Amino acid sequence: MKKQFVLCALPLLLAGSAGAAAPASPSQAAASTRSCHLPGVTEALRCVSVPVPLDYADPRAGTLKLHITVAPALREGTRADPLFVLAGGPGQAGSDVLTLLPALQRVRATRDLVFIDQRGTGLSGKLDCESKPEHERMSEEQLEAELRACISSTKVRYGAYTTAASARDLEQVRRALRYGQVNLWGGSYGTRLAQVYARAFPASVRSLVLDGVAAPDQVIPAGARDAQAALDGLFAQCAKDAGCNKAFPALRAEFNALVARLERGGIPVSLPDPRTAEPVSFTMTAPRFLGTVHNILYSPADARRLPFLIHSASQGRWGPFVARQNLSTDFGMDASMSMLLHLAVVCAEDVPRLTPELLAQDTGQLTKTLAEKFPSICKTMNVPAVPLAAPARIEAPALLLSGALDPVTPPHRAATAARYMARAQQVVVANAGHGVSQLGCAPRLLREFLDKPQAALDTACLKKIPAPTFQLGSAGPQP
């Protein structure tokens, strides 16, 4: 569940596989179901293909096949209301977050779990660009040119890939699978989709669990202030920790000096490739460095390694930092992201509200460069703007989970979302970052809430989630 919003540096934008699936023909109208085995899951699940209109505004556009993964309830004949799982991004697919299955096992005891591959992601016609090994060594200008070429060469109706269209898809899925009311679990951007669906189809929603909550008015690229607050908080925590402060007494100064050097033109780096041990040389740039730092802040356990990584880089030892940077493209969410879907949504729904005034107010270093590039990239996407509608009140009970250390959707975003909900319970977990559902007693609390969404939830057990220890040397975090 880690890293669900994508607010990374431009060099990470090109990760993924090539091409988009062709739309299904209009004659393929019925859902089809088969037993399937998906990566990362040992048991057989049910894979369902549900045809939906490719463009709800144009019946002649044909259909698109949505991929749905169903983990059936472990007990027969218990609950008729499933849990729909909506991944983040935008650009991540439900089939990419099947790692949530263990955390949702208590829920699955009595309910089907339905993982949705949103249109344009995963196995639902993934919209992406080819990932090439040479991308890692290209300059920002070269990468941007590659991205623009990919956008222009992919012949897709980008304007059909909106959150509103995905919400209408969810209703098609609900009907195709013959469910009555459904519960929604959304992570990060999935919380936006869940809220849009709950407003568009209120009679279809029994309850919502929103983890890493996006506010209705949140502009995804304008995240510099939230990211800076998380980074400043980490520096303050290191200063208060005896071991961290002793090992890295000048941490903030080292970070600022690194950024200043990088912004003057980059730092040449030569080292054994962390993957292959072969000698490699490249230029570490400010966008690559800041994008990786932002990525690391999503997880508190990962963030507690950051002082060591910054200090090592400031001493010229870039190996640990580069090894961590590689995780994003090798195994992280960037490897599975549907980048063109991400751009289709953000360019239509967020960038039109990314005014010069908002950019000026959004102070912070980590995401500023990428935010400033978005308007130009979105001109190449050429999608029509989606006006922000006044959010209607959501009547269904909602559980809002926030990590106090979240650099993307911190608690104030959930507080804003809760203002438009009739029955919202907001929970802030002190030692959590971007994602709470898999931590500590949270899996049990999810089941308790879904069984009785009207009842007040006792969340005191979440206070027992400890803060991770800092990494002070190459051996790893302290015991």
Residue-wise pLDDT tens digits, 54-76: 999 999 999 999 999 999 999 87
pLDDT of residue 13 exceeding 80, the answer is no
Q: Do 259 and 291 form a contact (C-beta atoms < 8 A)?
A: no
317 within a domain of the structure (yes/no): no
User: How sure is the predictor about 21, in pLDDT bands with cuts at 50, 70 and 90?
Assistant: very low
pLDDT > 70 fraction of the chain, expressed in percent and rounded: 92
Predicted pLDDT of residue 231: 98
What value does the mean pLDDT take over residues 278-293? 91
193 within a domain of the structure (yes/no): yes
Q: To 10 degrees, the CA torsion angle through 451, 452, 457, 462?
A: 10
Report the chain's mean pLDDT, rounded to a whole number. 90
Number of domains observed in the structure of the chain? 1
Q: Which residue has the higher pLDDT, 29 or 33?
A: 33
Q: Which residue has the higher pLDDT, 116 or 2?
A: 116
Which tokens go with 236? Answer: 């303050």
Q: What is the pLDDT of residues 323-333, one digit of tens each?
A: 998 876 655 44
Predicted pLDDT of residue 9: 34
Q: What is the pLDDT of residues 286-323, one digit of tens each?
A: 999 999 999 999 999 999 999 999 999 999 999 999 99
User: How sure is the predictor about 334, in pLDDT bands with cuts at 50, 70 and 90?
Assistant: low
Residue 185: give its domain's CATH number: 3.40.50.1820
Q: Which residues have C-beta within 8 Å of that of residue 338, sequence separation ≥ 6?
A: 16, 89, 91, 92, 93, 120, 121, 122, 126, 127, 128
115 within a domain of the structure (yes/no): yes
308 within a domain of the structure (yes/no): no
β-bridge partners, 35: 46
Which tokens go with 370? Answer: 């990428």
Domain that holds residue 25: 10-220+390-464
β-bridge partners, 51: 65
pTM here is: 0.92
Rounded-to-integer distance, Cα 438 and Cα 399, Å: 15
232 within a domain of the structure (yes/no): no
pLDDT of residue 129 exceeding 60, the answer is yes
184 within a domain of the structure (yes/no): yes
Amino acid letter, residue 309: L
Predicted pLDDT of residue 330: 59
Predicted pLDDT of residue 133: 76
31 within a domain of the structure (yes/no): yes
Q: What is the pLDDT of residues 386-442, one digit of tens each?
A: 999 999 999 999 999 999 999 999 999 999 999 999 999 999 999 999 999 999 999
Each residue of 311-343: b (16+ CB within 10 Å) or e? bbbbeeebbbbbebbbbbbeebbbbbbbbbbbb
Which tokens go with 220? Answer: 């995804």
User: How sure is the predictor about 370, in pLDDT bands with cuts at 50, 70 and 90?
Assistant: confident
Tally of CA atoms within 13 A in the half-sphere of 217 that contains its CB: 10
* Distance in Å from the first CA to the final CA of the chain: 25
Predicted pLDDT of residue 281: 87
323 within a domain of the structure (yes/no): no
